[in-house]
Chains A and B, each alone.
Chain A
Amino acid sequence: MIEFKNVSYGPLKNISLSVDKQEIAILFGPSGSGKSTLLYLFNRLIDPEQGEIFYKGKPIDDFSITGLRQNVGLLLQSPNLFPGSVLDNLKYGPSLTGSWKEGDEKRLLEYVQLPQDLRDRDVDHLSGGQQQRVSLARTLANEPEVLLLDEPTSALDNNTAEEIEIVLKELIEEKGLTMVMVTHQLDQVRRMGTKGMFMNEGTIQETGGLPGMLDNPETLELKEYLEG
């Protein structure tokens, strides 16, 4: 589904990876190791300086760039909500292609465990956790085939985070989504992932099945990171 071949960009050095359809790949590693940058590359907010990225077996720049961005949804690390109401934010993506239908917001608010009466609330009056969930719902609104999530639950308490994890897993089952998720909460890595990619200083240091690679780390760096 997704393949990076010797990709370099800024802090990223010679990254090769692949993620299969319906897989939940988790990118984890210390802050500043290049996880967010890797996600930007795959949504084409930036292009590699070297190397190539493939999507569904074709070079990523064979696709129309706006089409690709809708298809490969990216949730940025900060909510970056647009001024206006929750509803304004949720319909932003679908409205670009005219595919928004009135009432779609009900389902989206449910996905992210927000009460329906937040619909018309000004986004400035939301808590940090609520903003993060509106941002996630806004990304889901485009109905992407691939979800790139940059620390989607970092501002949420454990219970809410786990509820959202369940919703995300259901979406993957139901709609056959593929997901790449960045997190540095190790318990989340364990709960969510089928494949783990440990990033360190701009490279993917170790790849493996989850939770296996957490229990038997091969590299010294991962071992040290886990002992934290």
Chain B
Amino acid sequence: MSPEISNQSLLFLIVFVVVPLSLSYFYQLGMSRSILTSSIRGTIQLFAIGYILTFLFDLNAYIGIPLMITVMIIIASFHARKKGRDLPYVLPTLLAGLIMIEVSVLSLWLLFDMVEFVPSEVIPMSGMVIGNSMVAMGLALERMKTEFAENNGRILAALSLGAEPKQASHLIVQRTLNAALIPNVDRIKTIGLVQLPGMMTGLILGGVAPIMAIKYQLVISLSIFSSVSLSAMFVTLVMYKHFFTKDKQVLESKEAFKEYSSRDNA
């Protein structure tokens, strides 16, 4: 394998686009346009990130790293917020959660000498931690909303028996965390068997010895595992409170009751 892909070779990537393009053409899928634009857009995005990373890597680590991590956390928070726009205090909760996770993971990496404090190591590794945490938080938010809607009657029953909101939502918190953790346990269990993890693949292609690549992969996989668990837990434990008023009533119970009683009457 050549150490570097030349620009001429890169041009032949066109071939890989021609395949779906002709498929769309012959079967009249009407997707030619979006195949073209998305390929071009993806290429531009990647090169832009490449230049930004080059710029950051050349900066002083104490400027480049905080700068990039701040940007990543802000983008990730706004993205995860889409899953819970209708809930109060979502953005500050997500921001706080991501900051807490990134700071603790990074401290551990540095403390145990797993990662060097240079942009080329910290930024991509943090990107994976933040990205995965963002997805987990979004899923937790979504799941929590569904669980609250589906279990509205049980929550009312628990409250009516004198339960605190915390006790009344115990079941929901449990189910949300369960749903957030199961796919991660599965992923760790089959790691390396079904699919070589992306980072390891990259390192091996870059010429790193497989055992070395595996060490890095272990660090990142377990870091992701723990930050994903933590982010789901954080979002769930902070957000469930906002489904209740200070009088221990279900928030927007008007809406909830309307649905609940119309289901009853049906």
For B154, give the chain A residue with the smallest CB separation.
Answer: A80
Chain A nearest CB: distance from B100 CB in Å?
Answer: 32
For A34, give the chain B residue with the smallest CB separation.
Answer: B261
A51 on the B face (CB < 8 A): no
Cross-chain contact B257 with A37 (CB below 8 angstroms): yes
B67 on the A face (CB < 8 A): no
Give B148-164 as 1s and 0s: 1 = Cβ < 8 Å from A's Cβ atoms: 00000110111111111
Chain A nearest CB: distance from B178 CB in Å?
Answer: 13
Cross-chain contact A66 with B164 (CB below 8 angstroms): yes
Give A65-83 as 1s and 0s: 1 = Cβ < 8 Å from B's Cβ atoms: 1110110011011101111
Cross-chain contact B157 with A82 (CB below 8 angstroms): yes
A185 on the B face (CB < 8 A): no
Chain B interface, DSSP helix/strand/loop, else mixed: helix
A45 on the B face (CB < 8 A): yes
Cross-chain contact A36 with B264 (CB below 8 angstroms): yes
Cross-chain contact B264 with A77 (CB below 8 angstroms): yes
Cross-chain contact B167 with A47 (CB below 8 angstroms): no
A135 to B161: give the CA distance in the assembly, Å.
11
Chain B nearest CB: distance from A132 CB in Å?
Answer: 13
A31 to chain B: which residues have CB within 8 Å?
265
A40 to B260: give the CA distance in the assembly, Å.
12
A81 to chain B: which residues have CB within 8 Å?
154, 157
Known contacts A10-B254, A45-B249, A45-B250: A80-B156 contact under CB 8 Å: yes
Cross-chain contact B156 with A76 (CB below 8 angstroms): yes
Partner of A47, one of B156, B249, B265: B249
Partner of A82, one of B171, B247, B264: B171
A216 on the B face (CB < 8 A): no
A1 on the B face (CB < 8 A): no
For A70, give the chain B residue with the smallest CB separation.
Answer: B162
Chain B nearest CB: distance from A57 CB in Å?
Answer: 21
B201 on the A face (CB < 8 A): no
B interface bracket (residues with beta carbon within 8 Å of A):
20 to 34
Cross-chain contact B153 with A45 (CB below 8 angstroms): no
For A46, give the chain B residue with the smallest CB separation.
Answer: B253
For A72, give the chain B residue with the smallest CB separation.
Answer: B160
A92 to B160: give the CA distance in the assembly, Å.
11
Cross-chain contact A142 with B249 (CB below 8 angstroms): no
A92 to chain B: which residues have CB within 8 Å?
158, 161, 163
Partner of B162, one of A32, A37, A69, A78: A69
Chain B nearest CB: distance from A163 CB in Å?
Answer: 24
A139 on the B face (CB < 8 A): yes
Chain B nearest CB: distance from A142 CB in Å?
Answer: 6
B241 to chain A: which residues have CB within 8 Å?
none
Cross-chain contact B247 with A65 (CB below 8 angstroms): yes
Partner of B153, one of A44, A76, A97, A138: A76
B161 to chain A: which residues have CB within 8 Å?
69-70, 73, 92-93, 96, 138-139, 142
Q: Which of B157, B160, B249, B264: most chain A Cβ within 10 A?
A: B160
A8 on the B face (CB < 8 A): no
B157 to chain A: which residues have CB within 8 Å?
76, 80-82, 135, 138
Chain A nearest CB: distance from B174 CB in Å?
Answer: 10
A118 to B88: give the CA distance in the assembly, Å.
43
B257 to chain A: which residues have CB within 8 Å?
10, 37, 40, 46
B159 to chain A: which residues have CB within 8 Å?
45, 69
> Which 7 A-B residue pairs are closest in the complex by CB-CB distance?
A70-B162, A93-B161, A80-B157, A80-B153, A74-B160, A66-B162, A69-B162
